[in-house]
Chain A
Amino acid sequence: MPKHITRLLLVIVLAAVLAYVGKQWLTVESFYRFGHYRGNSVAEIASDKPKYATPKSCETCHAAKYAEWSRGVHNNPEQGKVVKCEVCHGAAGGRDKNPNGYNSATGAEHPKNLKLEIPADTVRQCTLCHEQMPGRPLQQKQIVVATHAGTQQCKVCHNVHSPRTFVGALASTSKPGNPAAGKAIAADCAACHGKLGISEDASIPSLAGQTEIYLADAIKAYKKGLRKDETMMSMAKDLSDSASENLAAYFASLTCKSAQDGETPAAARGQVLAKKCASCHGENGISKQAMWPSLAGLSKPYLEKALKSYKAERKNGMMNNIAKNMSDADMADLASYYANVACR
């Protein structure tokens, strides 16, 4: 083979070897493993530790709160509305270590040291989703803060873990009682509340057909002095919890009778006002929740007295707020309305 050809071949081979060695040396590990990128970077990216956990991981330690939440309106998978723990409390599995971050870790990650956020300003927190705003779809529950609650914090009335359940109602520990056992004790009540729970005296409430848990709670509240009425406090002082529950079950089982005083114009005015009461006391005053009283058919003087007492001295976070903005005339109209609707 001619010399110059050999040289040319040598140069070509040398260049090829140099190119190959150079490429091997300059190319990072695993670069062409899957394509024109560093193959190992996929596993590196995938190896990051997730920060957001799931509600199930919260349940391990916070079972009671989890149960409260999982039964409530903020956990409604059928409608696709699920407000998980970490939506309000922040990521549970470790936080950002960025010193400028608003929720920098103060220690090792939760649950060892790191405290999760507990939103202090519930108005700010809840209105992130529930403030009435153009652009929010109609199916989203929205409020105008000024007219809905004024300066009140949402948590005064709503249980933050299950917002439709109100705070007062959640406190109830009463269980359904035994009506037959209650009937024996009920004889003591008949003098004032009537033989079958239908009161003859308009200032004393009828109990027949009233919601059960509410009645039991009321008796217990009189016993503990949380509700103040001399007669009732002395009547209730010797009743055990189970006796109170049985008594409540008995009255709840009786057939109610509407007061029907026939004050139609006042009742019509009251009907307008009553729309605001419906979310707790039920459409037409028949409560669907055992912990809140039905108002339908109760006597006007009793209802009026109750509303006035909420405006004055009687303690109830929810009712105090409602009653404080009502005039005496409003109360009278509202009482008329409920006195005249059918109680079942």
Chain B
Amino acid sequence: MTQEGIAVEDKATELEEAGRRDFMRLFGGVLGGGGIALVAAALLPEAAAVADKPDIPGYDWNKHHWSFGVDATKCIGCLRCVEACKVENNVPKDPHHFRTWVERYVTLEGEEKTHIDSQHDPVNIEAAGADGKYRFANRYKDAKVDKAFFVPKLCNHCTHPACVQVCPVGATYKTEDGAVLIDHTMCIGCQYCVQACPYGARFFNEEIQATDKCTWCYHRITKGLNPACVEVCPVSARVFGDRNDKQSPISIFLRNNRVTVLRPESGNAPNVFYVGIDKEVS
């Protein structure tokens, strides 16, 4: 602005000045008032959500904090959890869609590389014999095995889930009690979340045309039951419970064990805690 221009403005009449002020006041008032109303409108449901809860009979999600434990030193690789999960949750029976799975880590003598296979490995599919049946082939029985162990895997129901962050339609979310769920009716099948998950826990379910994942059997835990995989595990390698209850299996598990999580560096803060896994597991 030029010197002259400033001089001109300085000479503005009181009337003009007053008109501008009035306008600013009026406009500011409208904007401000509207803004407050908008903010209030936006905030009110949030504030209400603290006390509000979904209409689940006999269940208040504000009173629970679910977590899952896996003791890999106990897992025998029987895959009963995998079969039970498929039945309980109507997961496609083919050997390529899993909400939970078990990995086998085998290091042979004199080798540095670890052999990793899961139930969807062709050799294991053949050993299983039929869709919906799963078993690990005894493929290392004659090999010189230096070290071998099984690791059950499932959705980690992270505290900061990357999958939820990337969903463009609000089809997946974190519940108050700790589960990460998918609303299949909202899912558009873009599979951004499948890409975002650092653990490969999500898959696209062609039968329902939506992305699918472990829910910790939300329909069971809200009725006081254990997830199906925990229910059938014959060796208690899987532990589940409410961390608000200090005597629940998971609270005891976390108290009595030094636990780790998968890929802590990803910043997702998993809620599935592992005991007895090795450096190869991620």
Residues of A within 8 A of B (CB): 1, 5, 9, 12, 16, 28, 31-52, 54, 74, 80-84, 86-87, 90-91, 95-96, 98, 100-103, 128-129, 131-137, 140
| A82/B234 contact (C-beta < 8 A), A36-B173, A98-B90, A102-B130 known | yes
B residues in contact with A101, CB < 8 Å: 87, 93, 131-132
A314 to B61, CA, bound (A): 65
A134 and B106 contact, Cβ closer than 8 Å, known pairs A40-B54, A49-B219: yes
Chain B positions 191 through 223: 1 when the CB is less than 8 Å from some CB of chain A, otherwise 0 = 000000000000000010000000101111011
- For the complex, is B235 an interface residue (Cβ under 8 Å from A)? yes
Query: In the complex the two chains form, is A80's CB within 8 Å of B132's CB?
Result: no
**Interface 9-residue window, one of B2-10, B136-144, B153-161, B257-265:** B136-144
The majority secondary structure among interface residues of chain B is loop
User: Would A37 and B186 count as touching, CB distance under 8 A?
Assistant: yes
Q: Residues of A contacting B104 with CB < 8 Å?
A: 135
Question: Given A36-B173, A95-B87, are A43 and B73 also a contact pair (CB < 8 Å)?
Answer: no
Contact (Cβ within 8 A) A135 B90: no
Query: Does the CB pair A137–B45 fall under 8 Å?
Result: no
Contacts of A12 in B (CB 8 A): 30
**Contact (A87, B232) CB under 8 Å given A32-B45, A102-B133:** yes
**Alpha-carbon separation in the docked complex, A36 to B183 (Å):** 12
| Chain A neighbourhood of B172, CB < 8 A | 37
**What class of interface size applies to chain B in its complex with A?**
35 or more
B164 to chain A, nearest CB (A): 9
Q: Which residues of A contact B218 (CB under 8 A)?
A: 45-46, 48
| Cross-chain contact B79 with A128 (CB below 8 angstroms) | yes
Give the residues from 21 to 56 in chain B that come closer than 8 angstroms, CB to CB, to chain A: 23, 30, 34, 45-46, 49, 52, 54-56
12 interchain pairs, CB-CB under 8 A: A35-B173, A38-B183, A40-B54, A40-B55, A43-B54, A46-B54, A47-B219, A50-B217, A82-B236, A84-B232, A100-B131, A129-B234
Shortest distance from the beta carbon of B163 to any chain A beta carbon, whole Å: 13
Chain A residues, CB < 8 A from B207? 98
On whether the beta carbons of B52 and A34 are closer than 8 Å, the reply is: yes
List B residues 166-183 near A (Cβ within 8 Å).
Answer: 170-173, 175-176, 181, 183
CB neighbours (8 Å) of B88 from chain A are: 50-52, 91
Across chains A and B, the number of contacting residue pairs, with CB separation under 8 Å, is 172
Q: Is the CB of B77 within 8 A of A48?
A: no
Residue of A nearest to B31 (CB): A12
Q: Contacts of A128 on B, CB cut-off 8 Å?
A: 78-80, 135
Interface contact A50-B225, CB-CB below 8 Å: yes
Please, which residue of chain B has its CB at the minimum distance from the CB of A83? B234
**What chain A residues lie within 8 Å of B106 (beta carbons)?**
134-135
- The minimal Cβ–Cβ distance linking B57 to chain A, given in whole angstroms, is 9
Contact partner, A133, options B23, B61, B141, B223, Cβ 8 Å? B141
Choose one: B23, B74, B76, B145; the contact of A5 (CB below 8 Å).
Answer: B23
Considering only residues 95-148 of chain B, those with a C-beta below 8 Å from chain A are: 104-106, 130-133, 135-136, 138, 140-141, 143, 145, 148
Given A41-B183, A83-B234, A129-B78, A90 and B87 contact (CB-CB distance below 8 Å): yes
**In the bound complex, what is the Cα–Cα distance between A135 and B225 (angstroms)?**
30
In the complex with contacts A42-B56, A80-B74, A98-B90, A134-B181 CB distance below 8 A:
no
Residue of B nearest to A47 (CB): B219
Chain A residues within 8 Å of B13, by CB: none
The residue that B231 contacts in the complex, of A16, A42, A86, with Cβ under 8 A, is A86
Residues on A with C-beta less than 8 A from B86 are 96
List the B side residues contacting A46 at CB < 8 Å.
54, 56, 59, 218-219, 222-223
Which of B138, B225, B232 is close to A131, meaning CB atoms less than 8 Å apart? B138
Chain A, residue nearest B140 (CB) = A134
**Most chain-B Cβ atoms within 10 A of its Cβ — which of A83, A95, A100, A128?**
A128
Residues of A within 8 A of B131 (CB): 100-102
Looking across the interface, which residue of chain A has its beta carbon closest to that of B175?
A42
Closest to A95 in B: B87
Of all chain B residues, the one with the shortest Cβ separation from A133 is B138
Map CB proximity to A onto B222-246 as digits: 1 under 8 Å, 0 otherwise. 1101001001101110000000000
Residues of A within 8 A of B78 (CB): 128-129
Query: Could you tell me the distance between the alpha carbons of A134 and B225 in the complex, rounded to whole angstroms?
Result: 33
CB of A249 to closest CB in B, whole Å: 39
Contacting pair B149 A140 (CB below 8 A):
no
Q: Are the CB atoms of B219 and A81 closer together than 8 Å?
A: no
For chain B residues 79-95, which have a beta carbon within 8 Å of chain A?
A: 79-80, 84, 86-88, 90, 92-93
